[in-house]
Every structure is written in C-alpha cells, then in structure tokens.
Structure 1
Amino acid sequence: MQQPIYDVNIKAGSSGTTTNENGFYELKIPANTDVTIIFTHLSHKRVEATFNLKNGEEIEFNPVMKIEIEQITTVVINHNTKHSVEGVVSIAPAVLRTIKGAQPGVENILKTLPGVNISNELSTQYSVRGGNFDENLVYVNEIEVYRPFLIRSGQQEGLSFVNTDLVQNVDFSAGGFQAKYGDKLSSVLDITYRTPLKFGIRAEASLLGGSIAAEAVSKDSKFSGIIGLRYRDNSLLINSLETESNVIPVFADAQTYLTYKFSDKFHLNFLGNISLNKYNFKPQNRQTNFGTLDQPIALLVFYEGQEKDQYLTTFGAFKANYFPTEDLTLKLIASAYHTTEEEYFDILAQYRLGEVNSNIGDENLGEVEFSEGIGSQLTHARNDLDALIFNVEHKGDYKLDEESTLEWSVKYTHEDIRDRLVEWEVIDSAGFSVRPPIYDIPNNQPYEPFEGPLVAFQNVRATNEVQIDRLQAYAQWSKRSMLGAHEVFYNAGVRIHNWTVNSKVPNQDGVTSSTQTVFSPRAQFAIKPDWEKDMLFRLAGGMYYQPPFYRELRDASGTVQPDVKAQKSIHIVLGNEYSFEMWERPFKLVTEAYYKNLTDVNPYTLENVRIRYSATNNATAYSYGLDMRLNGEFIPGTESWFSFGYLKTEENIDDKGYIARPTDQRLKFGALFQDYMKALPDLKMYLNLVYNTGVPGGSPSYANPYQFQNRLPAYKRADVGISYLLVDSNKEYTTKWKQRFKELSIGFEIFNIFNAQNSITNTWVRDVYSKRQFAVPNFLTPRVFNVRLSTRF
C-alpha cells in the first residue's frame, strides 16, 4: 500500500521545498519554461520530472518513490482542471506542426472543432457559433493582434499571423469566456509563444512555400530568443481554380519573440512581426458549368485587365513582468500596429450565359450552343488604407489565498485610420447599360425618349480620416473551494469600455464626434461532483458587447457613421465533460449547449471573406445550438477527435421578420484522425475531414435579402497526409548524414481527396430573355497534390 513520505527534498533550479508529514508540498516554478523537478530522499530512489506550465496554471503531482533499485513509473494523481472549468480547449503544438492543409496553421485545426466554421480552404478566417470573422479575439502572449482591413477574398490572405513553429500553447474558447478577455461577441484564441532553453533550428519546405525557425539562449540563461521566417506561394492552389489566369501570390513574414531576465523578479519580452502580402492577378477566361442534367447551363467569361494588391503590416510589443512577491504579479504591455494596404484593379469581363451541348459523342460536347445572356462587366478600384494602432495596458493578478485570485487591467488604445475608397462597376447587358435601381427617374420608352444621365451600376467614393480613443478596464475574481464533497470553481468579473470616435467630415473643416460607454458583467460556475464517474458541469454567461471597429462604422457608401452603437449579446453556455477509459486509454466527451440573444445588431453582407456593414443598429438576432466533441487515443500514442455541431442563427432587420444570417451553418461534422502502421511506426497518416451544410448564398447588389434565401451547397472536404520519419531524436544512427539531424521526415499530401466541388459565393448573371438572374457558383479548389520536407537540428 502506498504511504505518504515525510521530508522528501524537492528542488527546481535554485528553489526548493520539502514534504510534510502527509506527503504534501507546494513549489512555485517559472511559467512558460521547461523546468526539471528533482525528488530525493535518503531511503528512496531519486525521481526526476519535467514540467512546462502556463502563468497561473497548477497541477498536483505525486510520484511513487521506491526503496528498491528499480523505480516505478511516476503517477499523476490529479491534473489541474483549470481549462475544463473555464471552457477552454487546448491544442497540442505537435498537432499543429503535424497536421497540415491547404492553409496550414492554427485555423486548419480550429475548423475541426465544434462551433467553428470555415468554408474556404484559402482563408484563415473563421466564424464561431453564428458570429462573423470580426467577432473573434486573437492574443499572442497576452497581446492582442489584428488582421488586415481590405482583403476581400481568401486567395489574397496568405499567412495567418500565428507562426506554428514558435507556438508553445494554444487555448481556444468558443463562448462564455471570462472578463479578462476583450470585447468581442464570439470567441477567444489565446496563443503562447515559447521561451527557448537551448539552441535549435526547425525548417520545412513544400510546393506551397517554406519556413525556418531558430532559437537560442545565452550562457547565463538571461537572454533567450526565437525567430521565424515564412514564405508562401499559393500558385499551386489558385492555378487549380476554374478561372485561368497569370497569378503571382507572394506572402512572406518574419516574427521574433525575445526575453531578457534582469532578475528573478523582473523579465522583459518583445514580440515583433513584419508581413508582406503581394497579389498580382491577370484573369484570362473561365467556364462554369451548373444547372441540372436535363438543363445544363454554362457561364463562359473572357477577361481583360489585372489586379494588383499589396498589404504591408508591422507590429511590435514590449511586455514587462514584475514579481514583487510570490503572490503578486504586475505587467506593463505597450504595442503598436501599422498597416498600409493597396487594392488596385481594372478588369473587364465579357460573358456568355447559355445552354450546353450535352450530346455524348458530339464534337461540340460541353460547349455553349445557345446564348441566353450576353453582357460585360467593368470593375475598377483604387483603394488605399493606412492604419496606426497604439496600445498601453497594465495588468496584474494577486493571489488572495491558496484558492482565490484577483485579476485586473487598465488599457488605453488609440486608432488613427486614413482611408480612400474609390470603387465603381459598370454593367452592360445585350448592348444596354444597366442602371442601378436606386434612381427613381421615370422611363416611358418607347413613347418618350429617356434623357436620364448614364450612371455606373455601383459607384462608391469616400475619403475618411478617423481617430478612435478607447479606455478599457476589467476586474475579476476566481476561487476554488469545496461544496460538501464536491469541488467547485467560481469566476465573476466585469469589463468597462469607453470609446470616442472623431471623424473628419469629407470636404469640410468640421469633425463629428461621438462618445459611448458599456459595462460587461460575466460569470462562470463549475462543479466536479464526487461521483464514481469523472464528470464536470459548467455554467457560464454574461452580457457581451462589441464596440465598433473602423469597418463597422463605414456604411455601404463608404461614409463613416460615428454614432454606431456596440452590438450586444446576452450569452448563456451550459457544458458537461465526461472523462472515461475505453480500450484502456483515456477519452473525453465534451458537450455544450448555448444561446445568444443579440440586440443593436449591425447587419452586414458577406462576399467571400469581405464584410460590408450597414453601419446601423437596426436589427435583432439570436443564435442557439449544441456542440459535441469526443477526443482521445483512438490509436495508441496519437490524439484524434470527432466533432458535431448544430447551429441556428437568424436576424430581424427593421422588424420585417426573421431570416437566416449570412453565417447560418446548420450542421457541422469535423474529424481529425491520426494513425500509424504497427509494423512500421515511422510511417504516419492523418485525415482532416470537414462537412458543413450550406450557408445563404447572398443576393445581387441592391436586392432585398429577404427575397434571396437560397443556400450554397454543403461544404465537403477531406485532406490526407502521409509522412515517413527518416530520423528520430529518440534513436541512434551510425550514418553520418543522419547524425546531423534531430528529426527528418518527408511527406505526401492530397488536399480535397474526393475532389468535391465546393463554392464560397455566387456570381449573379442576368438572362436577357427571361429577365431572371442566375446564381453562378464560384467554386473553390479541386483535388491538389503536395509534397513536404521537414527537419529539426
């Protein structure tokens, strides 16, 4: 029978402690660092264990020490349930680096989680539980990061901000998050970059680009740093699309995370990033076949012109950590984000819409034989944006006692945005210029000549200079205790957000200004019953606000509306976690039901990844659903999971009745499965599977969305990767070239293995005969093959 051992010496670096008569001990170790703890006793064999914990994370670790020479494997009695009680999903960095996709990174894994929907493999944007892309918070080492403003399609995006080669921890919450996180309506992605302990290099190359990351630490261990360089070329994917083109999509970035430890009480960190996206696009032609087997239809388009886009972003942040006592931590964070974005294009598209020859054996099989619509479209844009964002924040946490903690923050943000928007579109159908329906000019042709002016179908011209000052603060209290024999967790907090919008009036000297303030109370409660089955129940909710960012202030005409209110959501989440063993391996089933009641909603339209807001608060909405995720070792030594989600979200604009929101994706199924051959364990395989039912397909310009509620087809995609580990750090090699590597692997990937035809938006084309408008799908990438080489020194 195992008995507690008194007076065991426990040492971690220069600090240490001993166990009491009951075998209990408490030891504080540095966060985000690999720390080796040594357990020694005169009568027992020495035990060593290495940990790497996040700031504030706690675990209970009790090794089994034997008198004999042989040492029994250590036993963890109870792992910290901090993430479980907070409703946070943690993703292992090894999974991020192993599971690749058409758009590799954190988002590639997020799309397999319940409640997270990504229906565009070229994009890193995701919607969570009915929200849009702008409703998600992203933090790297407690520093909020931003995405470019003008990007309108996934193929322009390039790289995700998060560099997976630098990642140590990935935490994700799909709703009901604490007050310490910012003011968004949907989700939080909390990334921690690692602090290195020794020199190392990691490199990777594929047909889609490459990356290299290096890390080092000084001899006195005071200074450490990690740097990552990435290059991405999406030509392989874009050239597989239906539109034949000459395209040069080049994306590159450099990131670094540096740490200097002046003393045990004061640490200074720096996070830096520079990113360049260049997208040069010259479309040539396109043919899209759609319709039915009985009545096949094709859209044939010939293009002239080109598009040139460039997005240059720089980001830098300093973070000072001061530990005056063991119970008090003080932080000061200062960051700056700057982006200059250019979007220039002139593209003439001449199209034929007609019936397709479906006679098998005919030499003209598949060609358009009878044209139902002939026309052209000329689009023009000269859009420039320059945005500069400063943040200064003080954060702190104080441990009131062994079981409760108080956290607080005060943050000031200044946003300076200068934007020039020039876009117009001219549409010609069968030789006649199509006028926009917003002009109410009598037209009595052919009885009277029409003398109205020729106008573009769409014409947006605006110049905006906007400054936004924000003052945010929060305070929250967390406590663990016992309720009878049951373990409970409490968290309660409140946020306050005050912002002032100053907008220069175009062609005038005046400035319009608006100041608003919102309060956001939030709370969480979790209980772990003292049952034979390992269960945990969680209830979270609160009042969540999203004060408008610049894009939410700009209406369809490009004019900034400073009086736009913060969107408001009352959010309730009820969750359950059931941990169990199956096949003598650990598994966990997580179930969450949620409901959101939204008011002061700012309606928007969604085209690919570009969101256009109405800049009004004239709608209400709701979202509710159920998310389930089963994860565990389906194959020994590998983590896999299966996800299911049900969602319904609708909005009521101007009291016209409820219709589906652009992100109303009813059913979702996702799977991430890893496997290997027992006879050849170095040969590994992964399957990344996503099925999402279709979202509303949008509506033509100026059309009433209540009359266009047809949905896109379901999004079906499966990516498969096979890799072989040539060199493993756990093995010894006599071959000289293998001794130079710690790891070396080669892989082969098939994206969209079943060649599913997925579409992201519709192109609306007019039929001059029937006066109808056809929704022509814009298809995404078909089956694509890729090879990959990865190494670590």
Structure 2
Amino acid sequence: MSRLPLVIFLTFTSLSLSAQSIIEGSVKSNQGKPLVGALIRIDSDSTRADNKGNFSLLTQRSGSQQIIFSHENFYGDTLEVFLEARKVYSLKVQLTPSSTDLQAVDVTARDRFENQTAIDIKSIEAFVGPTGGVEGILRTFAGVSSRNELSSQYSVRGGNFDENLVYVNGIEVYRPFLVRNGQQEGLSFINTDMIQSVDFSAGGFDARYGDRMSSVLDIRYRRPTEFGLRMQAGLLGGAVTVEDAKGKLDYMLSIRYRQNAMLLGAMDTEADFQPQFTDIQASVNYQLTDEITLSYLSNVSRNRYQVIPTSRETSFGSFQQALRLNVFFDGREDYDFITNFHAVSAEWRPLKNLRNTISASVYQSLEQEHFDVIGAYRLSELDNDLGSDNFGEIDFLRGTGGFHNFARNQLDALVANIDLKSTLVVKNSTWNAGIKWQYEDIRDRYKEWEYIDSTGYSVPHRPEWGFRRRRDRVIRVTQPIEGLNLFESFDSRASVFSHRVMGFIENQRRWEINDRSFSYSIGVRAHHWSLNGQTVISPRGTIKAKPFRNSDMIFRFSAGYYHQPAFYREMRDIGGAVNRNIAIRALRTWSRSHDRNVGSRLPIGY
C-alpha cells in the first residue's frame, strides 16, 4: 500500500495547466465524407480528426470561446461556444470544398482566472526597438527592467537575470554561459514569426513550472493549417519563414540573420564592429494515430561578435575640473557562441480525460572568448576659462599609461533531459504531475590576464630597491625583480558532471456558487541535485475568487516556497574555481492582487 502514491505520481504526470472541458464530435464534408486530418483549434489548444473524421479536444479554456475548424481543401468554419468547467460538448461540423485560401481568425477570449498574463501577438509584431520581439515588450510591464537595450535579458521585481524561466512548447530553453554584455548576445531563442501564444507570470506561478525565483515566460509555437511564406528585411538583418500542412504533417522552418554594426557605431569607442548573428529553427508535428502526436523542435544558432578597436575619448569631471581620457588601441576581440538545441516529444491520449507526454531534449553550447588588446591612454585636464581661446581644449597632461588584456577562454556545455508529464481530469478537479531527469556535462578552460602600466610603473608596483635597518642606521639595498607583475591573472580548468531529478504534483479545482466563481491550485515540487546531495521541497498554492455577482472583479492570493539550484555561472568564481558545495537558494513569498474588467478589452487592477 505504501507504493500506491508513487505509482499514481509516476503515471499521471502533467503537460500543462488543467484542461477542464472536453469537446468531441466529427468533421465531415457536405457530402458526408470524413475529413481526415482536419484541424480543430481553440487558441493554442488543438487536435486533428482521425480516419473517421472524429476528434476529441481537452482544453483548459472557459467562458465564451471560438472553436476553429479548418482543412487545406475546404472552407473553414468557426463556432462560438460558452464552455463551462467539467462538461463534455458534442459537435458535428460540415465543411464546404474550396479552392481559395482562408484568412486566419484571431481568438481574443481568455480565462482571467489563470495566473498568467497573455501578451497580444500583434503587439509583439508592432513593437519597435533595438531587440524587439517578446523580450522587448516585456520591459514595458510593471516590475520588469533591463540594463542594456541591446540585451534580451530582463530582471523581474529586482531579481537576477538568471532567475527567469523560458519555455517553448513546454520545453525549457537555455542561453549561452559566457556572454558578458548585450552586444554579444545576438538573436534570442524565441522566434516571433512562429509564435502562437505568449503567457507571462511575474511571480506566484504554479508547481508545474521549474525551479526559478522570479518569472515564467511560456511560449507556444503555432501549428500551421496551410502553406505560408513570410519574409522581412531591414538595415539590421532579415528573416524568412515558411510553413505548410499536408494531411497529418505540419511544419515551420525559419532562418534569421541580424547584425548590429549600425547601432554599435554610436558608442564612445571607435572600432570596426563585425557582429554576425544567424540561426535556423524548425517545428514539425505529425499525427501518427488518433491518440498519438509526434513533435520535433530544433534551434541551431551562431552568434559571432568581432571588434577591432582603434580609439576612445571620454570627457568627465566638473566645470571647475574638467578631464578628458584618450585611449588608443591595438588588437582585436573575437567572441563566438555556437548552440544546438533539439527536442522530440510524443503526446498520447488513451482516454478523453487523460493526456500523457514524454519529451527528450539536448542542448549543447560551444563558446569561446579570444581577445588580445593593447592600449595606451593619457589623462588630460581641460581649459575651463570661458574667456580663453583654448576653452575646452587640453590645458596640461596629468599622466599616461598603458594596459594589455589577453584571454583564451573556452567552454563546452551539454545539458540533456527526459521529461514525463500528464494531465488527468477526475470528476470536478484536475490532477497534474510530472517527473524529469537532467544530466549536465560542462568543461571549462579559463585563461585570462591583464597587465597595467601606470606612468611607467607596473601595477602592482614592486620597486627595485628598498631600505633596511642595520643596527643603529638605515641602509639602502637592492631587491631582485622576479618576472613581470600582472594586475590580474587567471588560469584554470574545470569539469562539472551532475544529474538532477525533479518532480511535481498539483491539483486544481474550480466551482461556482450562486454565480460566484472560486478556484484553487495547490501543488508541491521536489528537486534533488547530485553535485551537493541536496534535496528541496517547494509547496505552492493560489486561491482565486470572484465573490460579487454583479461585478467582474477577481481577487488572487498566492504563497509558497521557491528554490533555485545554481547553474554553472553561479558556481564559478572570478578566479575560475568551482564551488561544488554551493547550496540551493530558497525564497519564501506571498502576493495578492485583484483586477476588474471595465470593458470588453480593458482590465484594470493592481
């Protein structure tokens, strides 16, 4: 009997937030023939008709929803249905043959009881900025900030940039480890031309999401229903995306190119900037049987940032003491980040109320930082006499110096995992559970040094002679100099091999009493890391209520523990040493909020 909870936990592992309604039926032509492979879609939830034209769709949506039926050789149809939790709806649809293309239908209905904020796809496409895309529009949200407009990283509620989770089609994605600034980042993993839906949570997210402290960005790529081609080009790059659907197969393929040389030309440093960022993404889905769907997602990218600096001029100080620093460079910097990401998954629906998914993914990052730059600088004081003919020009020289920066850093990181999830609807509640195993293999070569010459002295300075007391007098003695003194010098090699085991289980329920709606989501996560042998438990819960019958106001309260195990960037110190006993960080948090819908598209709240 003690093994029964474990069996249930491993069997009913979860893919997504609970689906509380079941829509089933058939799709046929106006002549009564079944339409094999017809697509049935509600927002990002979709399925396809089997060989008999029958379908069954498990969805978490509620309220007034648009159900879209489409087929490549038929006119599409859209039905508006009011969905209620824990109910089964039967539909019979007939489509009319057509030889023309049907325009896409935008679905705007959204269940406001969810813990996440839905981002409008049209807003993402219309957003203008150096980076654009999803990360660009996230910075306009309350509590989200960024320190570099060229970076795709963001901070939520004052947290660190590494405290944010990013999922694409339910699979966690990663970013390079050695990136030092926004200029080197290049293209984000998220391809805006392939997006179907974007959900963002700035805290208080459910147990089904991974172990991070700040936020969750959940991206869903769309499944095309017909052939499409999208092309864009500009001064900063371009992209080509092709998509199609034939029978049981649908796919999207996208190639992007970007270069930021025009933006970097406005910096204080005069240099020959040669940033080149390229990636290829593919998303493929195949309906193997009526119950099984196979999916493949991949991303191969190369972000290369090269710069040959020549000079830099910076003025600073006050009006009474105006200074100018001139630096002259010789050498070059070369940063190269090559990433490969591949994921396969299989979704199996043996019952109408049960959905199981198993996925496997592998991520590899080959990174190198090579730079060898020599610089000479002079610090000057400027003429601040307003009546002088040389106002603002150099009055006298305060000092000169030089430096030499050198690095040959290389990193090879491999992250592989297998994830099993499931969603089960039982009577008036939904159970979600999952288990995940992850293996990490990281090899790091860290070799970097810096030499500084300040006004003819090596820093830190070691004089050639000194003084020594001998009896009752002080004499001058010569001190031998051994080698060259470097300001900083690091030379290390590190290899980290570890595995993690993660799991979660949660229950969600929603009910109504006299036109008043209530729901809760309670779950717990567990995480074990072999590197330090630590195991942590993270309980989380959310309560939502719509207590007023005649007012569309929703109250939310979330509380829980959030743990974040260290990844390699947090484990390595400035000298290259790896802390293998680093503890898993813990955060105890709670939050409350409410919002009121004063119009069809205008919610307000805090």
TM-score above 0.5, yes or no: yes
Report the Cα distance in structure 2 between the residues aligned to 1:235 and 1:411, rounded to whole angstroms.
42
Question: Which one of the candidate residues 148, 170, 178 is aligned to 2:206?
Answer: 178
- Provide the residue aligned with 1:404 in structure 2: 429
* 1:380 equivalent in alignment to 2:410: no
Partner of 2:601, secondary structure, is strand
Cα pair 1:253 1:274 within 8 Å, conserved: yes
* 1:456 equivalent in alignment to 2:482: no
Question: Which one of the candidate residues 472, 477, 484 is aligned to 2:502?
Answer: 472
1:480 to 1:10, Cα distance in 2 relative to 1, 3 A: closer
Alignment of structure 1 residues 46-61 onto 2, 5 Å: 56-61=60-65
Question: Which one of the candidate residues 587, 602, 619 is aligned to 2:602?
Answer: 587
Report the Cα distance in structure 2 between the residues aligned to 1:60 and 1:159, rounded to whole angstroms.
37
* Alpha-carbon distance, 1:242 to partner: 1.0
Report the Cα distance in structure 2 between the residues aligned to 1:367 and 1:187, rounded to whole angstroms.
50
- Provide the residue aligned with 2:349 in structure 1: 323
- Provide the residue aligned with 1:189 in structure 2: 217
1:55 to 1:284, Cα distance in 2 relative to 1, 3 A: farther
Cα pair 1:12 1:29 within 8 Å, conserved: no
Deviation string 1:409-468 (CA, Å, 9 cap, x unpaired) is: 1100001011000111112211111129xx9xx986996655575431111111011111
Partner of 2:187, secondary structure, is coil
Partner of 2:580, secondary structure, is coil
* Alpha-carbon distance, 1:483 to partner: 5.3
Give the letter aligned to residue 214 of structure 1.
V
Alignment of structure 1 residues 224-239 onto 2, 5 Å: 224-239=250-265
* 1:356 equivalent in alignment to 2:413: no
* 1:547 equivalent in alignment to 2:565: yes
* 1:264 equivalent in alignment to 2:294: no
Report the Cα distance in structure 2 between the residues aligned to 1:191 and 1:519, rounded to whole angstroms.
26
- Provide the residue aligned with 1:677 in structure 2: none
* Alpha-carbon distance, 1:61 to partner: 4.7
- Provide the residue aligned with 1:499 in structure 2: 529
- Provide the residue aligned with 1:673 in structure 2: none
Alignment of structure 1 residues 279-358 onto 2, 5 Å: 279-358=305-384
Question: Which one of the candidate residues 516, 521, 540 is aligned to 1:522?
Answer: 540
Report the Cα distance in structure 1 between the residues aligned to 2:280 and 2:84, rounded to whole angstroms.
36
Deviation string 1:18-43 (CA, Å, 9 cap, x unpaired) is: xxxxxxxxxx9677367999xxxxxx
Question: Which one of the candidate residues 186, 204, 218 is aligned to 2:232?
Answer: 204
Partner of 2:533, secondary structure, is strand
Alignment of structure 1 residues 637-786 onto 2, 5 Å: none
* Alpha-carbon distance, 1:529 to partner: 1.7
* Alpha-carbon distance, 1:352 to partner: 2.0
Cα pair 2:553 2:597 within 8 Å, conserved: yes
Partner of 2:530, secondary structure, is strand
1:548 to 1:308, Cα distance in 2 relative to 1, 3 A: same
1:301 to 1:119, Cα distance in 2 relative to 1, 3 A: same
Where relative contact order (Cα < 8 A, 6+ residues apart) is larger, the structure is 2
Deviation string 1:450-489 (CA, Å, 9 cap, x unpaired) is: 5575431111111011111000000011110135653111
- Provide the residue aligned with 1:771 in structure 2: none
* Alpha-carbon distance, 1:111 to partner: 0.5
Report the Cα distance in structure 2 between the residues aligned to 1:215 and 1:174, rounded to whole angstroms.
32
Cα pair 1:33 1:195 within 8 Å, conserved: no
* Alpha-carbon distance, 1:12 to partner: 6.2
Report the Cα distance in structure 1 between the residues aligned to 2:459 and 2:400, rounded to whole angstroms.
13
- Range with greater deviation from structure 2 (553-562 or 491-500): 553-562
* 1:563 equivalent in alignment to 2:581: yes
- Range with greater deviation from structure 2 (419-428 or 283-292): 283-292
Deviation string 1:201-241 (CA, Å, 9 cap, x unpaired) is: 111111000011110011x2x00001111000110111111
* Alpha-carbon distance, 1:551 to partner: 1.4
Report the Cα distance in structure 2 between the residues aligned to 1:56 and 1:428, rounded to whole angstroms.
65
1:238 to 1:528, Cα distance in 2 relative to 1, 3 A: same
Deviation string 1:291-314 (CA, Å, 9 cap, x unpaired) is: 234433222111111101111101
1:411 to 1:363, Cα distance in 2 relative to 1, 3 A: farther
Question: Which one of the candidate residues 27, 36, 44 is aligned to 1:32?
Answer: 44
Give the letter aligned to residue 344 of structure 2.
F
Deviation string 1:770-790 (CA, Å, 9 cap, x unpaired) is: xxxxxxxxxxxxxxxxxxxxx
Give the letter aligned to residue 184 of structure 2.
Q
- Range with greater deviation from structure 2 (223-232 or 28-37): 28-37
Cα pair 1:86 1:524 within 8 Å, conserved: no
* Alpha-carbon distance, 1:78 to partner: 8.5
* 1:217 equivalent in alignment to 2:242: no
Cα pair 2:224 2:251 within 8 Å, conserved: yes
Partner of 1:586, secondary structure, is coil
- Provide the residue aligned with 2:447 in structure 1: 422
Cα pair 2:61 2:83 within 8 Å, conserved: no
Cα pair 1:33 1:196 within 8 Å, conserved: no
Cα pair 1:31 1:54 within 8 Å, conserved: no
* Alpha-carbon distance, 1:289 to partner: 2.0
Give the letter aligned to residue 499 of structure 2.
D
1:86 to 1:451, Cα distance in 2 relative to 1, 3 A: farther
1:432 to 1:192, Cα distance in 2 relative to 1, 3 A: same
* 1:393 equivalent in alignment to 2:424: no
* 1:371 equivalent in alignment to 2:401: no
- Provide the residue aligned with 1:487 in structure 2: 517
* Alpha-carbon distance, 1:121 to partner: 0.9
Question: Which one of the candidate residues 113, 116, 119 is aligned to 2:144?
Answer: 116
Partner of 1:13, secondary structure, is strand
* 1:13 equivalent in alignment to 2:50: no
Cα pair 1:409 1:473 within 8 Å, conserved: yes
Cα pair 1:83 1:89 within 8 Å, conserved: no
Cα pair 1:33 1:197 within 8 Å, conserved: no
Give the letter aligned to residue 537 of structure 2.
F
Report the Cα distance in structure 2 between the residues aligned to 1:148 and 1:142, rounded to whole angstroms.
20
Report the Cα distance in structure 2 between the residues aligned to 1:486 and 1:545, rounded to whole angstroms.
35
* 1:142 equivalent in alignment to 2:170: yes
1:532 to 1:416, Cα distance in 2 relative to 1, 3 A: same
- Provide the residue aligned with 1:632 in structure 2: none
Report the Cα distance in structure 2 between the residues aligned to 1:483 and 1:547, rounded to whole angstroms.
42
* Alpha-carbon distance, 1:101 to partner: 1.0
Listed as ranges, the gaps of 5+ residues in structure 1 are 1-8, 16-27, 38-52, 64-72, 502-513, 592-793
Q: Give the aligned CA root-mean-square deviation in angstroms.
A: 3.0
Deviation string 1:531-554 (CA, Å, 9 cap, x unpaired) is: 433211111121110011111111
Give the letter aligned to residue 580 of structure 1.
V
* 1:105 equivalent in alignment to 2:133: yes
Cα pair 1:61 1:79 within 8 Å, conserved: no
Report the Cα distance in structure 2 between the residues aligned to 1:61 and 1:30, rounded to whole angstroms.
7
Deviation string 1:551-574 (CA, Å, 9 cap, x unpaired) is: 111122111111100011001111
1:10 to 1:195, Cα distance in 2 relative to 1, 3 A: closer
Cα pair 1:12 1:35 within 8 Å, conserved: no
Report the Cα distance in structure 1 between the residues aligned to 2:476 and 2:564, rounded to whole angstroms.
54
Give percent identity, aligned residues only: 39
- Range with greater deviation from structure 2 (75-84 or 261-270): 75-84
* 1:90 equivalent in alignment to 2:118: yes
Report the Cα distance in structure 2 between the residues aligned to 1:150 and 1:61, rounded to whole angstroms.
45
1:54 to 1:589, Cα distance in 2 relative to 1, 3 A: farther
Give the letter aligned to residue 139 of structure 2.
K
